[in-house]
């Protein structure tokens, strides 16, 4: 039974937020999520009870921490349905996408090859590819999107051709929350002999991921957008692709041996990509985060988040001064504008009433031509949000005016 | 002037007016103008300010771009305030404006309509918006002095 009131008690931030005046309503979950006590405890437990480095198993404590750390690889593998040796720990989704771009794509792409992406992508899934294109002479092509940022299979088929070697796409867009039919797109990509890279930053926290069943080649996600500490993320890669991929960081922990003539033998994946001491507390926190999410179950999470989204959209639709950009998308992201008021002023006004949302272009700077606006306000829902919170948000928007926004500075 | 400061309705009216009808709101194709493009770190405001400086006097200021109410209105007011001023006068006005934004004592007479932002310093996250145009004109003046 999904009891949101009970769930909220696990989040110290929410308990404080409810007591604040005005009550704080956190609706910027696409940026990062709040942390439950179990995740905070996992981090604190590491520093109070273990503290030592991993992979230095000469003493019992290090051996135990190493085991716990490697145990998280198994937890992640089960969570996204792959093998533990296909899970590379990174500092986040950006690091994971950069690793694929420089370690794999730059190695295999040739002049005139094509990287296919969408204009709704986050900067982290655009800028590394720009650089790879510049270095290899490959070209970037964009997929057609409708005005809600939706990519259709027909559109995808039309854009795909023999020169395409890499397709890179967010499973769920961070601005419009559009969900891509990833399994079908992967099958079409493979028919052309190309590989697919999936940015799972907004999808892995909110919907079940099946990398093997979908057959995707790479998938990146961040821990902090799904309850874990910041500083940890994951790159999934098919093992044979990880073998071909080069690390873009070298150092301790990634090599098996080297000599002074410069002969280096790297470890096998995933270890060859993990040079240096990782965010151990982050990885241990990720374990607690996954446990928490799995205990709730994605079915309940999705149902609750979509219910809140639809409830809010139905109410906002009745306001003539609100323009919605993604009414239909099946995720907890609501992108909108208040007609005649800049996004930053809207966000500042909502903030004055305790509501936290994000204003701007959300790092997706190519999207403006598709949705015909430079900026949007984004409210993003997580499973711990409530109808009462959405009502505070809706009420705040009900009678917003430019005058009220300006009055904030007096 | 002090009375004006006590009436938020009038101050709000000044800001509304400059936001809805920004003055000098255009750019020019003229090589003799100095140009400063300001894209704030918050990734929202993105404005360009141009200034023509001749014989030590700011002859013209204009601007364009995407910006919030505070950025647009403060830049519009800045343009009116500084056109026709010598570089010394302009530098003094800019410095008084920054004092006001930091909630320090400042010269009200010198700032004229810009006093509408006298409380903006209480909203730390909007200081960037209220100073973006002033930073831009400072860049133009610096560039001009460098060229001399």
Average of pLDDT values for B117-130?
A: 92
The answer to whether the CB atoms of A409 and B117 lie below 8 A apart is yes
- Of the listed ranges A47-61, A63-77, A237-251, B9-23, the least confidently predicted one is A47-61
pLDDT at A361: 79
Q: From the list B19, B43, B70, which residue is nearest A360 (CB)? A: B43
Q: From the list A342, A348, A406, which residue is nearest B12 (CB)? A: A406
Q: How many A/B residue pairs have CB atoms within 8 Å?
A: 58
pLDDT at A59: 92
pLDDT at B83: 98
- Mutation target for B interface from A363, A406, A408: give the one with most B CBs within 10 A: A406
Position B6 pLDDT exceeds 90: no
Average of pLDDT values for A152-181?
A: 95
A363 catalytic residue (yes or no): yes
pLDDT at A367: 79
Angle at A128 between CA A31 and CA B44, to 5 degrees: 45
Q: From the list A361, A409, A410, which residue is nearest B43 (CB)? A: A361
pLDDT at A319: 98
Q: Does A39 touch chain B (CB under 8 A)?
A: no
Scanning A383-402 for CB atoms below 8 A from B yields: 402
When divided into structural domains, chain B yields a total of: 1
Give A276: exposed, middle or buried? Use CB within 10 Å, 0-12, 13-18, 19+. exposed
Q: From the list B42, B67, B69, which residue is nearest A406 (CB)? A: B69
Q: Which residues contact A28 (CB under 8 A, 6 or more apart)?
A: A356, A357, A358, A378, A379, A380
Element (H, E) at A211: helix A211-214
The answer to whether the CB atoms of A345 and B69 lie below 8 A apart is yes
pLDDT at B45: 79
- Of the listed ranges A146-155, A380-389, B13-22, B55-64, the least confidently predicted one is A146-155
Q: Does domain A40-294 have CATH number 3.30.1330.30?
A: no
- Reading the block at residue A162, the tokens are 């023999």
Q: From the list A345, A360, A409, which residue is nearest B42 (CB)? A: A360
Beta carbons of A205 and A381 less than 8 angstroms apart = no
pLDDT at B148: 85
What torsion do the CA atoms of B134, B136, B140, B141 make, to the nearest 10 degrees?
30
pLDDT at B40: 61
Element (H, E) at B36: strand B34-39
pLDDT at B56: 96
pLDDT at A107: 97
Nearest-neighbour CA in chain B from A410: distance (Å)? 6
The answer to whether the CB atoms of A375 and B119 lie below 8 A apart is no
Q: Does A341 touch chain B (CB under 8 A)?
A: yes
The answer to whether the CB atoms of A375 and B44 lie below 8 A apart is yes
Residue ranges, comma separated, of all CATH 3.90.1150.10 domains in chain A are: 4-31+297-407
Q: Which residues contact B148 (CB under 8 A, 6 or more apart)?
A: none
3-state helix, strand, coil in chain A (%, to 5): 45, 15, 40
Average of pLDDT values for B114-132?
A: 93
Q: For all residues of chain B together, what is the average pLDDT?
A: 93
Per the DSSP assignment, residues forming a β-bridge with A368 are none
CA dist., res. B126 & res. B118, Å (int): 12
CA dist., res. A250 & res. A99, Å (int): 12
CA dist., res. A189 & res. A162, Å (int): 10
Q: Which residues contact B88 (CB under 8 A, 6 or more apart)?
A: B56
Name the pLDDT band for B46 (thresholds 50, 70, 90): confident
Q: What is the pLDDT of residues A138-157, one digit of tens each?
A: 999 999 998 888 899 999 99
Q: Higher model confidence: residue B21 or residue B6?
A: B21
pLDDT at A309: 98
CA dist., res. B121 & res. B102, Å (int): 6
Q: What is the pLDDT of residues A320-369, one digit of tens each?
A: 999 999 999 999 999 999 999 999 999 999 999 999 999 987 777 777 77
Which residue blocks in B23-67 are alpha helix, DSSP H? none
Helix, strand or coil for residue A59?
Answer: coil
pLDDT at B125: 86
pLDDT at A134: 97
The answer to whether the CB atoms of A374 and B16 lie below 8 A apart is no
Q: Is the four-CA dihedral A160, A162, A164, A170 of positive or negative sign?
A: positive
Residue of B nearest to A409 (CA): B120
Q: What is the pLDDT of residues A220-244, one digit of tens each?
A: 999 999 999 999 999 999 999 999 9
Average of pLDDT values for A266-287?
A: 96
Which residue blocks in A35-160 are alpha helix, DSSP H? 37-45, 60-80, 93-99, 106-108, 127-136, 153-159
E strands, A10-53, are 25-26
pLDDT at A322: 98
Average of pLDDT values for A39-43?
A: 98
CATH code of the domain containing B7: 3.90.1010.10
Q: What is the pLDDT of residues A182-227, one digit of tens each?
A: 999 999 999 999 999 999 999 999 999 999 999 999 999 999 999 9
DSSP assigned state of A204:
T
pLDDT at B4: 67
pLDDT at A213: 98
- Reading the block at residue A34, the tokens are 């709040």
The answer to whether the CB atoms of B68 and A344 lie below 8 A apart is yes
Average of pLDDT values for B121-144?
A: 94
CA dist., res. B2 & res. A41, Å (int): 55
Q: Is the four-CA dihedral B23, B26, B32, B37 of positive or negative sign?
A: positive
Nearest-neighbour CA in chain B from A178: distance (Å)? 23
CA of residue A284 relative to chain centroid, distance: 19
C-beta atoms surrounding B37 within 10 Å: 12
Domain range for B42: 2-147
* Complex ipTM value: 0.88
Q: Which residues contact A84 (CB under 8 A, 6 or more apart)?
A: A70, A73, A74, A76, A77
Fold (topology level) of A4-31+297-407: 3.90.1150
Nearest-neighbour CA in chain B from A125: distance (Å)? 17
- Mutation target for A interface from B70, B121, B125, B126: give the one with most A CBs within 10 A: B70
Name the pLDDT band for B43 (thresholds 50, 70, 90): low
């Amino acid at each position: 039974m999904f009891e949101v009131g009970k769930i909220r008690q696990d989040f110290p931030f929410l308990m404080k937020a409810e007591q604040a005046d005005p009550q704080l309503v956190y609706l910027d979950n696409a940026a990062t999520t709040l942390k439950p006590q179990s995740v905070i405890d996992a981090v604190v437990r590491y520093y109070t009870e273990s503290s030592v480095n991993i992979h230095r198993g000469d003493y019992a404590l290090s051996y135990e921490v190493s085991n716990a750390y490697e145990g998280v690889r198994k937890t992640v593998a089960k969570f996204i349905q792959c093998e533990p040796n296909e899970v590379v720990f990174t500092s986040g989704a950006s690091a994971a996408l950069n690793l694929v771009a420089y370690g794999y794509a730059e190695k295999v792409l040739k002049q005139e090859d094509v990287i296919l992406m969408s204009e709704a992508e986050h900067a982290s899934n655009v800028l590394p590819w720009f650089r790879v294109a510049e270095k290899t002479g490959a070209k970037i092509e964009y997929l057609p999107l409708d005005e809600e940022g939706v990519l259709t299979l027909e559109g995808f088929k039309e854009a795909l051709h023999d020169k395409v070697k890499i397709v890179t796409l967010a499973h769920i867009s961070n601005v419009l929350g559009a969900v891509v039919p990833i399994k079908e797109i992967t099958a079409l990509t493979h028919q052309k002999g190309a590989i697919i890279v999936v940015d799972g930053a907004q999808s892995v926290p909110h919907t079940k991921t099946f990398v093997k069943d979908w057959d995707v080649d790479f998938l990146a996600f961040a821990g902090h957008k799904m309850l874990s500490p910041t500083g940890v993320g994951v790159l999934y890669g098919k093992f044979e692709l990880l073998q071909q991929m080069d690390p873009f960081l070298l150092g301790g922990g990634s090599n098996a041996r080297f000599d002074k003539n410069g002969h280096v033998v790297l470890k096998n994946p995933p270890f060859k990509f993990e040079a240096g001491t990782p965010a151990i507390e982050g990885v241990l926190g990720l374990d607690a985060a996954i446990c928490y999410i799995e205990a709730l179950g994605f079915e309940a999470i999705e149902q609750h988040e979509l219910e809140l989204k639809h409830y809010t959209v139905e109410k906002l639709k009745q306001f003539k001064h609100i323009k919605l950009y993604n009414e239909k998308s099946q995720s907890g992201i609501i992108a909108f504008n208040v007609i005649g008021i800049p996004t930053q002023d809207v966000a500042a006004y909502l903030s004055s009433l305790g509501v936290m949302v994000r204003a701007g272009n959300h790092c997706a700077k190519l999207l403006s031509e598709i949705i015909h606006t430079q900026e949007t306000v984004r409210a993003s829902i997580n499973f711990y949000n409530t109808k009462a919170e959405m009502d505070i948000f809706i009420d705040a928007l009900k009678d917003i005016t430019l005058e009220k926004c300006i009055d904030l500075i007096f | 002037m002090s009375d004006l400061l006590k009436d938020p309705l009038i101050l709000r009216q000044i800001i509304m007016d400059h936001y809805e009808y920004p003055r000098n709101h255009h750019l020019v194709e003229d090589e003799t103008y100095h140009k400063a493009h300001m894209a704030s770190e918050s990734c929202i405001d993105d404005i360009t300010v141009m200034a023509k400086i001749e014989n030590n006097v700011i002859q013209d200021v204009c601007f364009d771009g995407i910006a919030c109410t505070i950025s647009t209105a403060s830049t519009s007011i800045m343009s009116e305030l500084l056109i026709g001023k010598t570089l010394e006068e302009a530098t003094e006005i800019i410095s008084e404006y920054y004092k006001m934004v930091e909630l320090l004592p400042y010269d009200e007479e010198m700032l004229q309509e810009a006093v509408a932002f006298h409380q903006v310093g209480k909203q730390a996250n909007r200081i960037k918006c209220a100073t973006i145009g002033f930073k831009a004109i400072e860049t133009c003046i610096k560039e001009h002095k460098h060229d001399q």
